[in-house]
Amino acid sequence: MLELKDIELRRVSIPGRLALNVALSPRMPGLPLLLLPAYADSWWSWSRVLPPIADRRTTIAVDTRGHGDSDRPECCYAMDDVVGDLVGLLDVLEIDRAVVVGHSGSCFAARGLAIAHPERVAGLGLISSPVALDRELLGSFVETIKGLADPVAETFIRDFQAGAAPVALPTDFLDGLVAESRKLPARVWRDALEGLLTYRDEALLDEICAPTTLMWGDRDEIVSRADQERLRTAIGGAKLIVMAETGHSPHWERPDEVVSMLLELVDRAD
């Protein structure tokens, strides 16, 4: 089986846009997977599932704009900007179609790509996906992010990351999450959140034609079961998998099960 050391970290320049950092596995036959990290995360957030998936399929885990070791432009963190980056990345990597997987807020970019460029999305995986973010319901968190100053406090980042899972995570993995999130300046925390808060696509979800799998943990305190039902109803043929005793980040908490589910999705889309 491949190991994490077999995954290449590469900066990919997108003509006319920016450079993105990606974790790229060796090329394999069949449909590749494009993995999108959640808000304030990087490719490392997929590190518990990368090797076993990459053992079967070409896998690309990307640091979206402003995140990880990708470029941090001074503006433009709307979902349209992120989707444009992803299309450019697929072009540069000469990938016509991929199975695209999002987690939490990055599900917006995954859905946006599937809606705007259906020819590029062969399958769609949505892990802990909200329908939309409500500024009022997130009021205290939004105000906290508005008040961040550089350098962003590590205690805040550690609490933010640990709060995404109801179970204790391996220390080295959690430390990696924190280290990656510490790379974000306060302005990216603010601008990226604003991009998520302003995204709305519920009226367009019925345009998604790719085979879609929704994954949600029944101990998720961030995204509701009701959101999953709305998404399943809106996206034709979507399959919902509810994971027992699992929180907001199933690929952190139950990586083996998520690997199996994602590979099943790729097989279905192939």
Tokens standing for 176?
């990696």
Q: In this structure, are strands 59-62 and 121-127 parallel, antiparallel, or unpaired?
A: unpaired
CA distances from 237 to 206, 209, 232, 265, 266 (A): 10, 9, 8, 13, 15
**Residue in the structure block whose two tokens are 């939309």:** 132
**Residues 125-180 pLDDT 10s:** 999 999 999 999 899 999 999 999 999 999 999 999 999 999 999 999 999 999 99
More confident residue, 85 or 167: 85
Q: Tell me if 105 sits within 8 A of 32, measured CB to CB.
A: no
Locate the domains of the chain by residue range.
Answer: 4-269
- Percent of the chain at pLDDT exceeding 70: 100
pTM over 0.95: yes
CA distances from 166 to 60, 106, 119, 242 (A): 27, 20, 37, 16
30 backbone φψ class: left, alpha, beta (φ>0; ψ -120 to 50) = left
What confidence score (pLDDT) does residue 1 get?
Answer: 77
Q: Tell me if 224 sits within 8 A of 248, measured CB to CB.
A: no
The alpha carbon dihedral of 247, 223, 158, 5 has a sign of positive
Q: Tell me if 248 sits within 8 A of 45, measured CB to CB.
A: no
Q: How far apart are CA 125 and CA 119, in angstroms?
A: 16
What confidence score (pLDDT) does residue 2 get?
Answer: 86
Residue type, 96: D
CATH 3.40.190.290 for the 4-269 domain, yes or no: no
Burial 33-67 (b: 16+ CB within 10 A, else e): bbbbbbbbbbbbbbbbbbbbbbbbbbbbbbbbbbb
Task: At 12, give phi and psi (nearest 5°).
Answer: -115, 120
Q: Read off the pLDDT of each residue in 6-22 and give the average, rounded to a whole number.
A: 97
Residue type, 159: D
Give residues with Cβ within 8 angstroms of 188, minimum separation 6.
66, 67, 72, 77
**Residues 28-82 pLDDT 10s:** 999 999 999 999 999 999 999 999 999 999 999 999 999 999 999 999 999 999 9
What confidence score (pLDDT) does residue 92 get?
Answer: 98
Nearest to 1 by CA among 259, 262, 268: 259
E strand or H helix that includes residue 61: strand 59-62
Q: Tell me if 63 sits within 8 A of 20, measured CB to CB.
A: yes
Residue type, 184: L
The alpha carbon dihedral of 70, 73, 114, 95 has a sign of negative
